[in-house]
Amino acid sequence: MRALRVAVGIAAAMVWSPPVLAASDPPPGAASCSGCHSAGATAASSIPRLNGRDAGDIVTAMAGFRDGSLPATVMNRIAKGFSDDESRAIAAWLAAQK
Amino acid sequence: MGISHRMSRREFCGAGAATATALTFPLAFPLPAFAQSAARVVVIGGGFGGASCARALRQIDPKLQVTLVEPNRTFTSCPFSNNVIAGLRSIEKQQFGYDKIAASGVTLVPQAATAINVTARTVGLADGASLSYDRLVLSPGVDLRFDALQGYDEAAAAKMPHAWKAGEQTLLLRKQLEAMDDGGLVVIAAPANPFRCPPGPYERACLIAHYLKTKKPRSKLLILDAKDTFSKQRLFQNAWKELYPGMIEWISLSQGGKVNAVDPATNTLITDFGNHTAQVANVIPPQRAGRIAEIAGATDKTGWCAIDPVTFESRSAANIHVIGDACLAGAMPKSAFSANAQAKACASAIATLISGGSPAAPKLINTCYSLAAPDYGISVAGVYQPKNGLLADVEGAGGVSPADAPRDFRVREADYAQSWFATITAEVFG
């Protein structure tokens, strides 16, 4: 009986706990970054990891890639697809990732 | 037979406990609450698209019951397989297992999916079992059309490899190149659009030429093309002149390059303008979405899958989403990078739909590297968003590497190509 009460308690908690929101959905475009910029710490790569980086640094880099003041191979072509607002949202999300 | 009738005490207890659980839970708790909290998503196809999607779904919502249906125990990557053909890389470096995907909470079903009941929302498996789903993701890749070129069927592919699905075919083409005498003719037949990996045939020409230049320098390589233009064309043609002068010849559609038929007995490729007999013939035939997409009713008359650009839901089959090479993704090319990016956007959309919300319009990126030589990389990139029901290029963004870049730029892009492969395979399979 005691075991059943515990089970009921657990199940009740499962049923009535408030819905867990996704750990903040990535803003448009952000999920694509990890195709090249490793989200994990394991891959050996010449391409910098962005998760946990300072958001301001990412926004500044994106603006530099966009106006050509920061030299790049491919990021200049990609940065032109994002506005300042979009870059800021992506940067804030990347900065919040572990 | 006898063994199944003998039940050990432990097995008996286990069975009893399972029965008690099965009886107790439905009595004690209302089922609908459980059903709602554990929506079922089945993903068919364990390549860059399907494996990424299954993993992303679990990451976004750990309560989701995610099942990945993939008959192969090992995935062999097409990206970088041209390096295997050219003797620059072992096939083992192309191969990845599914252990980490299982460890992330995805249920693996090592079976082929053979049937889909759209009304009952079930997937039939080769062993006769069936899986129920609330949402189904199809990422079946391409099927090679063995009805498109006269004489080119599966048996012909054992003589004239396509090597457009990595594995045995990759190694067969490599062996044929190794066995060829110096001074031989290699022919690559490239298909019309759309097809998997648009720059692939031309990267392959470069890396085979790299092998020939090193090992069999009197040999020639001919590309017979069913198109008049191709991906990264100017960059490839410049690289051919710069790196392999006089070795590679490209015959376009309007110059009579379209292969209509082949004769495997003599290794001959037949065009409207004449016959070409090759020592090594690499025939890349036209393609369509993997067969299960047609079974699901998700293909249109082109053989590919039209999708909603926000949710990747099929235009013709409800609750079925199609990602990767099989879908018509508008301006997005059929690449591993695209498949991975689409997988993550699709997973977000599915999680939102299951929770009763309406998915926001995504923005997607593609970046696709090719190697003209091991230290000479070129790329094409694009940014995409939904527009008029399709995924369209964001204007002003994207494009190819500069035509006039110094050599160290090509060296850096070759390095980034390697880094990209290490990163994406770690994200999907590691």
Q: What is the pLDDT of residues A60-87, one digit of tens each?
A: 999 999 999 999 999 999 999 999 999 9
- Predicted confidence (pLDDT) per residue in B207-257, tens digit: 999 999 999 999 999 999 999 999 999 999 999 999 999 999 999 999 999
- In this prediction, residue A43 has a pLDDT band, given cuts at 50, 70 and 90, of low
Helix, strand or coil for residue B409? Answer: helix
Per-residue pLDDT, B21: 37
Smallest CA–CA distance from A36 into chain B, residue = B420
Among A26, A36, A79, whose Cβ lies nearest the Cβ of B423?
Answer: A36
- In this prediction, residue B2 has a pLDDT band, given cuts at 50, 70 and 90, of very low
**CB within 8 Å of B423: residues ≥ 6 apart:** A34, A35, A36, A37, A38, A43, A45, A47
A10 lies within 8 A of chain B by CB: no
Residue A4 domain-assigned?
no
Best probe of the B interface among A14, A42, A45, by most B CBs < 10 A, is A45
Per-residue pLDDT, B131: 98
Per-residue pLDDT, A25: 86
Per-residue pLDDT, A17: 39
Q: B353 to chain A: which residues are within 8 Å by CB? A: none
ipTM: 0.88
Q: B379 to chain A: which residues are within 8 Å by CB? A: 73-74
Decide which of B271 and B11 is more confident.
B271
A46 lies within 8 A of chain B by CB: yes
Both structure tokens of A52: 């946990």
Rounded Cα distance between B430 and B425, Å, is 7
Quick one: which of B94, B95, B133 has its CA closest to B113?
B133
Kindly report the pTM of this predicted structure: 0.89
- Residues 314-343 in B contacting A (C-alpha not used; CB under 8 Å): 337, 340-341
B154-285 belongs to CATH 3.50.50.60:
yes
> A69: domain range?
49-98
Smallest CA–CA distance from A21 into chain B, residue = B61
| Phi, psi for A51 (deg, rounded to 5) | -60, 130
Per-residue pLDDT, A23: 52
Q: What is the mean pLDDT of residues B51-72?
A: 97
- In this prediction, residue A40 has a pLDDT band, given cuts at 50, 70 and 90, of confident
Smallest CA–CA distance from B384 into chain A, residue = A81
Looking at every residue in chain A, the average pLDDT score rounds to 82
pLDDT above 70 coverage of chain B, percent: 91
**CB within 8 Å of B227: residues ≥ 6 apart:** B190, B192, B193, B252, B253
Both structure tokens of B394: 């964001």
**Nearest 5°: CA angle at B12, between B7 and B15?**
125
- In this prediction, residue B100 has a pLDDT band, given cuts at 50, 70 and 90, of very high
Determine whether the interchain pair B420/A47 forms a contact, defined as Cβ–Cβ distance below 8 Å. Answer: yes
Determine whether the interchain pair B361/A81 forms a contact, defined as Cβ–Cβ distance below 8 Å. Answer: no
Q: Does residue B119 carry a pLDDT above 70?
A: yes
A51 lies within 8 A of chain B by CB: no
Tell me how many domains chain A contains. 1
Helix pair B336-354, B407-429: axis angle to 10 deg: 40
Per-residue pLDDT, A7: 44
- Predicted confidence (pLDDT) per residue in B121-160, tens digit: 999 999 999 999 999 999 999 999 999 999 999 999 999 9
Helix, strand or coil for residue B198? Answer: coil
Determine whether the interchain pair A36/B60 forms a contact, defined as Cβ–Cβ distance below 8 Å. Answer: no
Q: Which CATH number is A68's domain given?
A: 1.10.760.10
CA distance B20 to chain A (A): 12
* E strand spans, B53-152: 65-69, 74-76, 95-97, 107-109, 113-117, 122-125, 130-132, 135-138, 142-144
Q: Does residue B3 carry a pLDDT above 70?
A: no
Q: B413 to chain A: which residues are within 8 Å by CB? A: 73-74
- Residues 43-72 in B contacting A (C-alpha not used; CB under 8 Å): 56, 60-61, 63
Q: Does residue B331 carry a pLDDT above 70?
A: yes
Q: Scanning the structure block, which residue is given the tokens 């290794």?
A: B267
Determine whether the interchain pair B364/A29 forms a contact, defined as Cβ–Cβ distance below 8 Å. Answer: yes
Domain B38-144+288-361, CATH: 3.50.50.60
Residue A2 domain-assigned?
no
Q: What is the mean pLDDT of residues B85-108?
A: 98
Q: Does residue B8 carry a pLDDT above 90?
A: no
- Predicted confidence (pLDDT) per residue in B34-61, tens digit: 445 589 999 999 999 999 999 999 999 9
Per-residue pLDDT, A44: 79
Both structure tokens of B172: 């067969």
Q: Does residue A42 carry a pLDDT above 90?
A: no
Residue A1 domain-assigned?
no
Q: Torsion over CA of B54, B60, B65 and B66, rounded to 10 degrees?
A: 0
Q: Does residue B374 carry a pLDDT above 60?
A: yes
Residue A6 domain-assigned?
no
Both structure tokens of B268: 């001959």
A17 lies within 8 A of chain B by CB: no
A83 lies within 8 A of chain B by CB: no
Determine whether the interchain pair A81/B363 forms a contact, defined as Cβ–Cβ distance below 8 Å. Answer: yes
Among B348, B420, B426, whose Cβ lies nearest the Cβ of A42?
Answer: B426
Both structure tokens of B57: 């779904």
Rounded Cα distance between B32 and A45, Å, is 47
Quick one: which of B216, B205, B224 has its CA closest to B180?
B216
